[in-house]
A and B are shown apart, each in its own frame.
Chain A
């Protein structure tokens, strides 16, 4: 069938199983948008307020479903606005196809209106990218893009399509099925046997898992392993939601802001079994000191992650689900009463340290704070603090609701505290740490799954991309936005308090934004909570509806994310209380 390039794009997207795309029109994609209009009953396009929001929405769609997320932007500024979203997906291994229009091939390289070399720009932040200069290659290039995005360790792929390719015609025939990923690599039998004997020799094994468990669909194998070898588990930020937070073997996230028991247990282990994780600097701190006490078995689908940040004693390349499935039968079931006892001690110590931190003098004082303090006069038992906010919200939410965060203190508090049950219900920008990620991602996740999303954000992060409230309203997205509003850029402020003599350079916002009015101006509902009592009521209302609702929660600017391993520090430097 002879059809034009724009139609080939839409037909190929549908062929690849794509039901929803996120984007923003413009001069060099006008032909593509014409086809999206003509095919609006077959493929849903969600109009974002800004291309960055569209990219984050495609990312949220992909993280919530495991399918490839698709975003579309025009050339030039449209394309460059996608870049942060693409980089966010790249650092967190999210399958995405970004389609950009470009000026006609005859105008390329002449600094034409709205021309940028987006392939050059995105080369370091994509798994691969393409510019299509021949209509005959258009459909297959898009198919390859999907194939690359979902193969092995997933990631974003960009396809740049000049306007004349969209208008040219070529023969197209849809394939019956979406492209299949490249064949997976499987762990070598010999290495798995070595792993098994290392585990059998170990007295204090600790499982450290990352986002690879989620993208590798290996949650149940992971739980079986932990059960069988009686090992505690800790995870990276990206690993959260892979196992239920209340699993008795699970100690929570470790690393810079991880749970005390989780980080210390790892340090006291004699063997760390790293599964689908990459030993980021936020997880390890000082790399020279990090693995002084334990051996490491590292299993990952991406060979390049093995021995990249930390040199393991045994590195195994392969699909994680298959590797665990084959490893588990090689291991005898054991019990480790002494190690279990030590873990229980650490849990108790963690609880005690949390209490001490909450009761510390610092937590009560607002010295050097120039903000009008919203906390004054509220009795302690009714005060909102970050954990209390999370507890109230999570008590109203359903376990299938998808929790999304922005970046900063609120992100770490949510990562530490929110009780997660199911994989793919916690979406956060881990590797890139993109403030402004959350609202777009929440919209994308809701659009994909038809489920409610709960966005935890801060007044700083929310300020970055709050324009997407417009999208949430036009889509009637069931999103509850919880702003932890402390009037400061809390995470940077925390560093300034600890490491820069309380020089609060540019972290005191002193804004007069009324988030309730703002929500209403966008057509959403909004309410402000100063006390726990108020938040209970507001949350009740927010979760009873099915449309965007913004809850502005007052939080003390002296709330700290604890514990904290200082950057480049090690477990001995752990801060659990501010004095």
Chain B
């Protein structure tokens, strides 16, 4: 994580349009989103959105307050990066040639990645980790020929027993 980057966890009602409301707030107030993910939570009526953005403390406070104003937003928390488990998933398709195969396999092993599809001309690696680890792996794969890739964006959850509540 960069120094001026923040991760916030947002619990929202699981209703249609809620993603537009949250992402639209960022657009119309001129805040930049580095990455946004949304998914189910332990309770069916709520979704959890993880937003990563950069800026200073002032921007951070403004974003949190504007999010808290949205009717469908139930809880907002800026996650302490030292006390938070942050993960991202990468699927990357790399060219498979006899000359490069062994090097790719070595990198996969060192990064604790997994090969999840294999064909004579291409292979797909799956990698989970923090953003910097994924970035490093992608960098490493570049010389071998990246054919296609996608990453999920970050999800984050605080260590210990503190939780974002899905009840208000």
Contact = CB atoms under 8 A, between A and B. Distances in A.
Nearest to A119: B17
A148 B71 contact: yes
B67 to A, nearest CB: 9
Contacts of B68: 303-304
B71 A307 contact: no
Contacts of B69: 302-304
Contacts of B28: 124
B159 interface: no
Contacts of B2: none
Mostly helix, strand, loop or mixed at chain B's interface?
A: helix
B133 interface: no
Given A123-B21, A124-B28, A311-B58, A304 B71 contact: no
A184 to B, nearest CB: 15
A120 interface: yes
A294 to B, nearest CB: 20
A123 B28 CA distance: 10
Nearest to A155: B69
Contact of B20 (A120, A131, A148, A311): A120
Contact of A308 (B17, B62, B70): B62
Nearest to A305: B65
Contacts of A120: 20
Contact of B65 (A123, A124, A303): A303
Interface residues of A, number: 15
B97 interface: no
B149 to A, nearest CB: 32
Interface residues of B, number: 15
A557 to B, nearest CB: 37
Given A119-B17, A120-B20, A127 B71 contact: yes
A128 interface: yes
B25 to A, nearest CB: 8
A429 to B, nearest CB: 20
Nearest to B65: A304
Contacts of B62: 304, 307-308
A97 to B, nearest CB: 14
Interface string A514-543: 000000000000000000000000000000
Contacts of A123: 17, 20-21, 24
A366 B160 CA distance: 75
A131 B16 CA distance: 9
Interface in A279-324: 302-304, 306-308, 311
A205 B103 CA distance: 73
Contacts of B66: 304
B61 interface: yes
B74 to A, nearest CB: 13
Contacts of A148: 71
Interface string B51-85: 00000001001100110111110000000000000
B61 A307 contact: yes
Interface in A476-502: none
Contacts of B58: 307, 311
B24 A124 contact: yes
Nearest to A144: B71
A163 to B, nearest CB: 19
B112 to A, nearest CB: 43
Nearest to B28: A124
Nearest to B27: A124
Contacts of A304: 62, 65-66, 68-69
A30 B117 CA distance: 58
Interface in B2-20: 17, 20
Interface in A300-353: 302-304, 306-308, 311
A142 B106 CA distance: 61
Nearest to B71: A128
Interface in A75-126: 119-120, 123-124
Contacts of A131: 17
A72 B28 CA distance: 27
Nearest to A311: B58
A303 B65 CA distance: 7
A65 B71 CA distance: 25
Nearest to B66: A304
Nearest to A126: B71
Contacts of B20: 120, 123
Contacts of A308: 62, 65
A311 B62 CA distance: 11
A75 B62 CA distance: 35
A171 to B, nearest CB: 23
A90 to B, nearest CB: 12
Contacts of B24: 123-124
Nearest to B15: A130
Given A304-B69, A308-B62, A308-B65, 19 more contacts: A119-B17, A120-B20, A123-B17, A123-B20, A123-B24, A124-B24, A124-B28, A128-B70, A128-B71, A128-B72, A148-B71, A302-B69, A303-B65, A304-B62, A304-B65, A304-B68, A306-B65, A307-B58, A311-B58
30 contacts: A119-B17, A120-B20, A123-B17, A123-B20, A123-B21, A123-B24, A124-B24, A124-B28, A127-B71, A128-B70, A128-B71, A128-B72, A131-B17, A148-B71, A302-B69, A303-B65, A303-B68, A303-B69, A304-B62, A304-B65, A304-B66, A304-B68, A304-B69, A306-B65, A307-B58, A307-B61, A307-B62, A308-B62, A308-B65, A311-B58
A-B complex: 3 closest residue pairs judged by Cβ atoms: A304-B65, A128-B71, A124-B28
